[in-house]
Each structure stands twice: as C-alpha cells, then as structure tokens.
Structure 1
C-alpha cells in the first residue's frame, strides 16, 4: 500500500465522465461558501454552518497548506462541462498500519440527486483499491441521512453496523451508520 505521503506527493487531478477532482484554489471560496453556509448541507456534517465568506477563505488556506505538506486534503468536485466547483470529497482518515481509508464528501444542495457524489465516490474507490492498494475502505453517515447511505450502497459498500448516538450536532445526538468494502469485494465487482 502507498503511504499517505507517497500518494499525496503526486497531487493528481482525476476525471470521470462528468467531473474533475482537482485541488482547491483560492478563488473557490465563493463556491465553497455556497454550500458551507447552507444549513441543509451542513446539517449532518461535522462543521458548523459558515456565517461569513472569510470562513471559507480560511479553510481553503488550510487546505492549501495541507497540499504543501503532502497530507490528507480534499479534492474540489468540479463539473467538467461548466467548470463549476460544487463540493468536496476526500480521504478523511488514512491508516498505513491497517491499510484502510475512510471517505467523506459534501455537495451543494442544488446538485443533490444528480449522481455527482456517486460518480466522485466511485472514482475514489477505484483510486483506493487500484492506485493506493488499500485493503479496506469505509464511509459513514447519520442514520437519518438516507441520501448519503444510498451513495454508499450504489457504490457497493456493505452496511456493517450502527453506533448509537455517536454524532452530536445542534444539541442533538445522531446514530451513525457504518459502511465498508474490502479488496475482494471491490475486485469481485469490476
């Protein structure tokens, strides 16, 4: 398995039929603010609703620092046809020791239901198993977030269990559903 440092040294751009997964740029702040300031989008995310564009600018600066350090950092999801940046996807955790990664994603509300997250997630699964050579890939979502669960299921991940009241947001506890796929699962699908 490639180490995190080896993988992020390359800082590649990936493309699917409709999307480009690329590094964030300073001028993505407006697009990022569009989804990070939307309470419907932020509802099941670990970060609070952004109140100012400066919060998006600050986060992008943090991401750019991560690129320089060659550590975990998200890709911007861009629609190839329009050049519009609509969200982010990344390996939110990476374990060289256990040969596994966890994927997280977010997308602007106006692009929900168009299959973009499913497509971007499919590409990250391919990268994880074919380029990085992980043994296991996981993802999780709030149990009530069935749209996110559907993305995981469409991409062949298996429901592996629930952790009760393990996510706290806006003065409420949520159960989390955990999904996973191991190397044999992936190669049996392709």
Structure 2
C-alpha cells in the first residue's frame, strides 16, 4: 500500500477531514455522548467533554503517521462534525483494511454514512492501493449492514460470537469489497 494519511476528501454534501481540538464540542454534542450511537461499538459514550478532548488529542498526534486514517464527517451545510469513519484494522501483507464508522443519530437514514464510506472506498482503492476493504456489524445493527450493502460490499458470512461491543459478546456479519470488483464497476 502507498499510504497517504488522512487527506481531505469531499462529496456532494460532506467534507471528510482531520479532526482538530476545535471540533471537541461538536463531536461531544453531536455523537460521542450518545448511548444510542455507541450501543454496537467497543467504546462507551463520553460522559464529559474532557474524554472527547483526550481522544481527539490522541488522533491528532497519530496524523503524523501516513498509515493512520481517521476522518471527521463534516456536513457542508452546517460545517459541523457529525460522525467519524476510519481504518480500524490493517494487514499490510494482504493489502487489507477494516473500516469502522459512527454517526450522530440525528443524521441516521439520510444516506450520509453511505456517501462518506463510498468516498473512502474510492480513495483507498484508487490512491492507497488497497486490495480488500472489509467491515463487519452486529446483526442487530441493521442500519450498519444497509450502509455496507449500499456501498457495494458483499456478504461473506456471520461469525458466531466473534466480536464484542457494549452489548457484550456478539455475532459479526462480515462484508467486503475487492479492488477488482470496485474497478470493474466504476
């Protein structure tokens, strides 16, 4: 892979960019403090803005690494950070990345995450040289699965009791898209 780091990406409605500490209040208010958002995730919702600031500080430090990909999803209309999408796992040997994402509940079911994920898919295949992009979701988190399908990922199977989240030990529905499939369909 030819890593580029978290570069600014743009879609019709969104800007995907690096976080800054100035985003702390929006991140906390718009999604990081919502139990509904973190129910299927591995991290607890933030109970105060200091938690948000500490995490953003760690991400900001990591931006110096070109193999670190953590985007703030910013709605152009309001210039607010409303969620995040990132590479949460990577295997250099197979040129594979695993994507994770979350979005404030106010913006669910508007196609925003699909728009962001589609842009990240294009960037990773076309600019970084990734060969496989995968993601997984708890079968109870139907909305997350819809995003993967809408973005062209293919269902590979359900791994039983293979993951954990704030709900405990859970099944994981695995989806992926390969570079050859992506390039065949653009």
- The secondary structure found in structure 1 opposite 2:64 is helix
Give me the TM-score of the superposition, normalised by structure 2. 0.94
Hey, what's the Cα distance between the residues in 2 that align with 1:170 and 1:89?
A: 19
Residue of 33, 41, 50 corresponding to 2:28: 33
Residue of 134, 159, 163 corresponding to 1:167: 163
Deviation at 1:169, TM superposition (A): 3.4
How has the CA–CA distance of structure 1 residues 185 and 36 changed in structure 2, closer, same or farther, with 3 Å as cutoff?
Answer: same
Give me the TM-score of the superposition, normalised by structure 1. 0.92
Alignment partner, residue 50 of structure 2: 54
Deviation at 1:170, TM superposition (A): 4.1
Residues 63 and 73 in structure 1, CA contact (< 8 A), matched pair in contact too: no
Residues 41 and 166 in structure 2, CA contact (< 8 A), matched pair in contact too: no
Which segment drifts farther, 63-72 or 18-27?
63-72
Hey, what's the Cα distance between the residues in 2 that align with 1:110 and 1:81?
A: 15
Hey, what's the Cα distance between the residues in 1 that align with 2:167 and 2:100?
A: 22
1:35-114 correspondence to structure 2 within 5 Å: 35-114=31-110
Larger RCO (CA within 8 A; separation ≥ 6): 2
Residues 78 and 86 in structure 1, CA contact (< 8 A), matched pair in contact too: yes
Alignment partner, residue 120 of structure 2: 124
Gaps of 5+ in 1: none
Residues 13 and 76 in structure 2, CA contact (< 8 A), matched pair in contact too: yes
Gaps of 5+ in 2: none
Deviation at 1:55, TM superposition (A): 0.4
Aligned length: 185
Alignment partner, residue 19 of structure 2: 24
